[in-house]
Amino acid sequence: MELAALAVVALALSGLAKLGPSRKSYLHLVILAVALLAAPVAVDIVAKMQGSASAAGINLLLYWPVDFAYVAFAVVCFAAVGWRSVRNTQTKAAVGAALGAILGLGWATLAFLVVAQVHVWGGGRL
């Protein structure tokens, strides 16, 4: 599953690379990915430090405030960055937004794996 998620991310990044965005756009994607991942991981770590056995990070990532709200927010953010990265090129903005959304879905898969691993590492069960 991890390899499939990495393959999706790699394909989307190679698609963006062919469209001609700058290195600054890639930096924005990396910063966005790390910033969006920080919240569920921090919530899970803080919950473990307070002695809670709940999967707070997974709940934030997948179920709070409504099902898949955080993932949908991340996909929209990645689509916006993808759209913005091809704004000044010859490529249509919809293509950049679609590749950004694909990156967002790949991020969601990897984020779930990271948060689940942090939860299991802290003594929790899935």
| 20: containing domain | 2-121
pLDDT-wise least confident of 24-33, 35-44, 96-105:
24-33
Q: What is the DSSP letter of 25?
A: H
Identity (one letter) of the amino acid at 89?
T
Residue 111 lies in a domain: yes
**More confident position, 16 or 69:** 69
Mean of all residue pLDDT scores within the chain: 85
* Count: domains in the chain: 1
Q: In the structure encoding, which two tokens stand for residue 28, read together?
A: 């924005």
Residue 37 lies in a domain: yes
Q: How far apart are the first and last CA of the chain?
A: 16
Residue 63 lies in a domain: yes
Total residue length of the chain: 126
pTM of the complete model beyond 0.85: no
Residue 99 lies in a domain: yes
Residue 126 lies in a domain: no
Residue 29 lies in a domain: yes
Q: In the structure encoding, which two tokens stand for residue 88, read together?
A: 């000044």
At 45-96, the pLDDT tens digits run 999 899 887 889 999 999 989 999 999 999 999 999 988 888 777 778 888 8
Where do runs of H (alpha helix) occur along 52-92? 56-58, 69-85
Q: Measure the CA–CA gap between 3 and 5, rounded to whole angstroms.
A: 5
